[in-house]
Amino acid sequence: MPADQVPLAGVVGVVLAAGRSRRFGADKRWVPWQDEPLLAHVLRTARATCERVLVVVERHDPLLDELLERLPAELLVCPDARRGLPFSRRCGLDALQDDPVLRGVLIFLGDMPAIRPVDARRLGAAMLEAGLPVRPTHGGAPGHPVACPARWLAELGESGFPGAVGRSIEWDHAGVVRDVDRPVDLANLTPP
């Protein structure tokens, strides 16, 4: 396998997939896009980039069992996820506290299927090289995945991207800022 396709050693992908999809009107994780559920695209990118992948959900879902058979990842049920994204993020990061080989994490959102593996890998490599949190921006808008070295996880878990120390990198690919909140967002989504 070429070096640019080997998962980043010591980097964990945390996929936040516990949202309630209120604005979408249905559980958007399972809505098809390019012949796959939205969540499958995100998992595939996380798996191509990270040595280990966690999926944070509010409750167990049998559809997840089927998906995780095809795209293996660790399921993390977080009942507090109903309280919002910061609680899901914190739950995922807390699960990594005792990982002795953890070098950093990439935080993916389960409704952003247009992020390319090359983008995630580039962010992870930039994080490891700089030793600082990094995030992509496109047209000035902050995007995902957010990449954060292990030593900054407490701050990331507490208050989100540590902008005072982190770096934003302008990206030419809009997939890093395109999430699917409403059906029209899915209709306007362009493939990676």
Amino acid 4: pLDDT: 65
pLDDT single digits (tens) 47-81: 999 999 999 999 988 889 999 999 999 999 998 88
CATH code of the domain covering residue 143: 3.90.550.10
Within a domain: 179:
yes
Query: Is 54:74 a contact under the CB 8 Å cutoff?
Result: yes
Within a domain: 192:
no
Within a domain: 114:
yes
Closest among 79, 102, 189 to 154, alpha carbons compared? 102
Within a domain: 108:
yes
Residues of the chain with pLDDT under 50: none
- Collapse the DSSP code of 53 into the 3-class scheme (helix H, G, I; strand E, B; otherwise coil) and give the result: strand
pTM over 0.85: yes
Amino acid 60: pLDDT: 87
What's the domain count of the chain?
1
Amino acid 83: pLDDT: 87
Counting Cα atoms < 13 Å in the Cβ hemisphere of 23 gives: 10
Amino acid 160: pLDDT: 83
Amino acid 94: pLDDT: 92
- Domain span including residue 70: 3-187
Within a domain: 110:
yes
Amino acid 1: pLDDT: 54
Q: Which residue matches tokens 């808008």?
A: 141
Closest among 136, 140, 143, 145 to 178, alpha carbons compared? 143
Within a domain: 125:
yes
Within a domain: 18:
yes
CA distance 107 to 20: 18
CA distance 13 to 47: 8
Amino acid 86: pLDDT: 85
Within a domain: 100:
yes
Amino acid 2: pLDDT: 58
CA distance 139 to 15: 24
